Amino acid sequence: TYRLPARAADAGRLDRMIARAGGTSVGGTVLFRTADFPDAPGLFRRLGEAGIHVRRFTEASARLRFGLPADKDAWCRLSRILR
């Protein structure tokens, strides 16, 4: 089960990572975050190459949706790509 206060803090952490990477958070829940990036197609490719699956939106090509990382290793992998 998810502990909602902890997941809410994780959502904020992901929003900060997105902002540092040049993205703009546009919404989400305590389980996922949606953001716009200037080079979303390139970022999508780099994330995929690192084994990080995100959702692309055909109707909004700058937009990606991230699930919250499940553990420390997943946070580290995402952090490396978003630098």
pLDDT tens string 17-73: 999 999 999 999 989 999 999 999 999 999 999 999 999 999 999 999 999 999 999
Residue 62: CB atoms within 10 Å: 17
Q: Which residue has the tokens 């699930």?
A: 67
* CA end-to-end span of the chain: 30
Domains of the chain are: 4-81 (3.90.1150.10)
Question: Per-residue confidence at 76, pLDDT binned at 50, 70, 90?
Answer: very high
CA distances from 31 to 39, 59, 74 (A): 24, 22, 14
CA dihedral 77, 38, 26, 28 (to 10 degrees): -30
The alpha-carbon radius of gyration of the chain (Å, integer) is 12
